[in-house]
Amino acid sequence: MNTMQTALGKLHLASPVTVASGTFDLENFNFIAQDCLGAFVCKTITRHPKVGNPPPRLFESEAGLINSIGLQNPGLDKFVSEYLPRLRDTLKIPLIVSLSGTSIAEFVEIMQTLETQEGISGYELNVSCPNVENEGIAFGVHPDIVYKLCSALSPLTRRELIIKLSPNVTDIASIAKAAEAGGADSLALINTVYGMAIDYKTGKSLIKQGIGGYSGIGIKPIALALTYKACQAVKIPVLAMGGIYTWQDALEFFWAGASMIALGTANFIDPTAAQKLYDGLNTHLQEHNLQLTDIIGKCVV
């Protein structure tokens, strides 16, 4: 048996490593082989095209990255007509489509359209983007809305239904439970943490929109704690992310209960990071004669 095999709900995957939405695209396969990834998660799509937020959109802080992209994307129609065929032609690994909407009806509409398309193994509902006001995070911070959204969408598909949660909430456990009760197959967490940077000389915000989403190595302890908390609260599997750079980081998240992990900002730091993580994790498990399933959720507290 391959020591690296894992399951995320309905998906049986050859690698427990994937990529965070918006941090990885087909260009990255110039740098790494596809088979180190268990799945490919695309950048979030919305019903209508989104031009995104005004620049500056990025600032590298002491221990991570603040972004304010604003879900720039070509919209559902162009995704289906142009981008999805390219993904289908290129990918040898399962495709998970990240999507977001301004209302439950819009999520339903997007998913119904995607259901008519082949080559998609799962959906990741982005209800946690901190950079758009009326979609994304407005949904992800209320357990009752998360429940309603998952209840509306889960009967529509036999594909893996993942909901990506925000760390910017009072109680992740109640939101995780609401998602599980609503019929989500798995959870992804965390999306970025609210972050800000100011030029100390001029007092000017270094991100045009003021507050952005903070990612990277600095958020790892936060992500680990929320992963642990969510895994304690629900039975459905968790895809964990937040500051994961190395195979050692990944192992911490598996101990905490994650069934799969994703690299986000690490892909920008090193386009070969996913390959290095996969190789390092594989070597470690083999050297210690371990299956991944031996350690998932076995953290000692």
Task: Work out how close the CB of 150 gets to another protein at its nearest, in angstroms, rounded to a whole number.
Answer: 28
To the nearest whole angstrom, how small is the minimum distance from the Cβ of residue 72 to another protein? 5
- Of the candidates 42, 129, 150, 231, the residue annotated as catalytic is 129
Of the pair 117, 283, the CB lying nearest another protein is at: 283
Question: What length does the chain have?
Answer: 301
Whole-number Cα distances in Å, 55 to 58, 66, 175, 212, 297: 8, 12, 32, 12, 41
Least distance from another protein to the Cβ atom of residue 149, Å: 26
**Nearer Cβ to another protein (173/196):** 196
Residues linked to residue 64 through DSSP beta bridges, in sequence order: 61
Pick the closest to residue 146 from 169, 163, 168 (CA basis).
163
Binding interface with another protein (CB under 8 A): 22-25, 27-28, 30-31, 43, 51-52, 54-60, 62-63, 65, 67, 69, 72, 217, 245-246, 248-249, 265-273, 276, 280
Decide if 40 contacts 94 (C-beta within 8 A): yes
Task: Name 290's Cβ contacts closer than 8 Å, sequence gap at least 6.
Answer: 3, 284
Residue 30 vs 116, nearer CB to another protein: 30
**Residue among 58 and 141 whose Cβ is closer to another protein:** 58
* Minimum CB distance to another protein, residue 236 (Å): 29
- 3-state SS string over 156-178? HCCCEEEEECCCCCCCHHHHHHH
42 is catalytic: no
CA proximity to 194, closest of 209, 178, 175, 177: 209
Positions marked active-site: 129
